[in-house]
Amino acid sequence: MSKKIGIIVGSLREHSFNRMIANTIPELADSVQYEFISIANLPLYNADLDHGEGPDPVKQYREAIQEADGILIVSPEYNSGIPGVLKNALDWASTPTKTAVLIHKPAGVIGATPGVKGTILSQQQIRQTLDATQSYVMPFQKMYISQVMDKIDANTHKLADETTRKYLGRYVQTFIQWIDQVQQLNE
Ligand SMILES: Cc1cc2nc3c(=O)[nH]c(=O)nc-3n(C[C@H](O)[C@H](O)[C@H](O)COP(=O)(O)O)c2cc1C
């Protein structure tokens, strides 16, 4: 059976550029399955709600991560850092402490911005948070997409810039190999 990659988009905006980038991924690396994991209905993290399987949206979200062989995060940068909605989602996936679904989960980070710095600072914080969850963030490889509004096709709303498509495809292929490497680490 082919691998399944869960994709989490760190923007709730309807016309999110990061969602457009995420929507392009399946056509760039089609040897695996993809599932988009929504974070829109998660409550704000509150330890008082975090008992048993948690509230229904949390339960469904955790199950989706559990079933994925790896997680790709595609996120904007807000105020030089991680968007609050994404941090909230990662916190919900970081508990219960010993059985959290992110433990030993392969993870990759991608980000797009209309600005020129490609979400570097946001990705640093996302990596820091993922590290704390004991997930295995793919080392070294980075995927920063700057001036994204010039790289999207106005009709399809998918990534059109050929160079960026090539790099993104390569990033996802390398991530698929990373899933295999982590599986060996976990054995
Ligand atoms: C509150 C806020 C803070 C932002 N801060 C940054 C930032 O620090 N760096 C950056 O590159 N873009 C920043 N932006 C611009 C976002 O990159 C831009 O709105 C982007 O389109 C959001 O991603 P999305 O299209 O996937 O929703 C910020 C936007 C908002 C609303």
Radius of gyration of the chain measured on its C-alpha atoms: 16
pLDDT band for position 155 (cuts 50, 70, 90): very high
* CB 123 less than 6 A from any atom of ligand 1: no
Confidence of residue 187 (pLDDT cuts 50, 70, 90): confident
How far apart CA 75 and CA 54 sit, in angstroms, is: 25
Q: Is the CB of 69 under 6 A from ligand 1?
A: no
pLDDT value of position 12: 98
The reply to whether CATH 3.30.565.10 applies to domain 4-186 is: no
If one counts every other C-beta atom within 10 angstroms of the C-beta of residue 44, the result is 10
Per-residue burial over 85-102, b if 16 or more Cβ lie within 10 Å, else e, is bbbebbbbbbbeeeebbb
Residue nearest to atom 27 of ligand 1 (CA): 16
Model pLDDT for residues 4-50, shown as the tens digit of each residue: 999 999 999 999 999 999 999 999 999 999 999 999 999 999 999 99
pLDDT for res 185: 87
What is the CA(149)–ligand 1 centre distance, in A? Answer: 12
11 lines ligand 1 (CB under 6 A): yes
Average pLDDT of the residues of the chain: 97
Q: What pLDDT shows up at residue 141?
A: 96
Give yes or no for residue 105 having a pLDDT over 90. Answer: yes
Percentage of the chain exceeding pLDDT 90? 98
